[in-house]
Amino acid sequence: MPRTHASLPRLYIEPDLGQGASIALGKEQSLYLAAVLRKTVGDEVVLFNGRDGAWLSRLTSDSKKSVTLETIEQVATQTPVSDLWYGFAPLKTERLDYVIQKATEMGAGTIAPVLTKFTQVSRLKHEKLVANAIEAAEQCEVLSVPVVAAEITLAALLAGWTTTQGPRKLIVADESATSASPVDAIAALRGHPIGLLIGPEGGFSDEERAQLRAQPFVVPVSLGPRILRADTAAVAALAVIQAIIGDWR
């Protein structure tokens, strides 16, 4: 997207986008644009919906209850949705928000909460996770919002993996692995669909680790000699994956 539009607010919407489309925003987004950002008729924003690329659009009404806009021109063509699957053991409150936002910024296409033995959180507000993913997508100029899957237990995930994920390999950040660089193990997966799994604050249990290592689709990796916090490990692992075999190349 031209950097000239980088300073404009970006909003994720559901309706189709195209030349001359008229868009009516819901109450929440209308309030955000008209009251928080004080946008008025004629002001420009960038809209995207995950299907039609990004569209420079202009406000045609600025009522706080229902802002309407019309599209002016397409400023970015739709990019393919990321195939990177990211599973994580949910963390508490703001660190959970952080992990969802960072996974979105780092290019995850699917974000899947995985319940493990030491996971501290079991009830998740799915709509809040989705809202965090949308907010991150709006801020970091991605053109599609990752799918936030329903939570699943580790046992169910592993049992159903080959049925639901086919040939996808699952990179598991294993803090008990001998400290080593993950570069070679990840580079060997070039061309494969891949997933990444990060454990909870309390780590994987010994039984879980044995279960994981027994799976032919699992590739355990070390993230170096220090024990990283789960949210740090998520960003570190996603960065290494994107840099070696992902979309940073």
**Which residues here bind ligand SAM, judged by CB under 6 A?**
173-175, 177, 198-199, 201-204, 222-224, 226-230, 233
Tokens of 87: 């599973």
Write down the H helix ranges in 20-91: 27-31
**Could you tell me if 112 and 86 are in contact, meaning their C-beta atoms sit under 8 angstroms apart?**
yes
Shortest distance, CB of residue 248 to ligand SAM, whole angstroms? Answer: 20
**Which residue lies nearer to ligand SAM by CB, 115 or 198?**
198
End-to-end CA distance of the chain: give it in Å, rounded: 19
**Which residue lies nearer to ligand SAM by CB, 91 or 142?**
91
Strand order in the sheet with 10-12: 10-12, 44-48, 54-61, 68-76, 22-24
Shortest distance, CB of residue 225 to ligand SAM, whole angstroms? Answer: 7
Alpha-carbon distance of 6 to 140, in angstroms, equals 10
Alpha-carbon distance of 161 to 170, in angstroms, equals 9
Residue number, nearest CB to ligand SAM = 199
Residue listed under structure tokens 């079991």 = 122
**Which residue lies nearer to ligand SAM by CB, 53 or 182?**
182
**Could you tell me if 63 and 27 are in contact, meaning their C-beta atoms sit under 8 angstroms apart?**
no
**Which residue lies nearer to ligand SAM by CB, 147 or 177?**
177
**Which residue lies nearer to ligand SAM by CB, 65 or 229?**
229
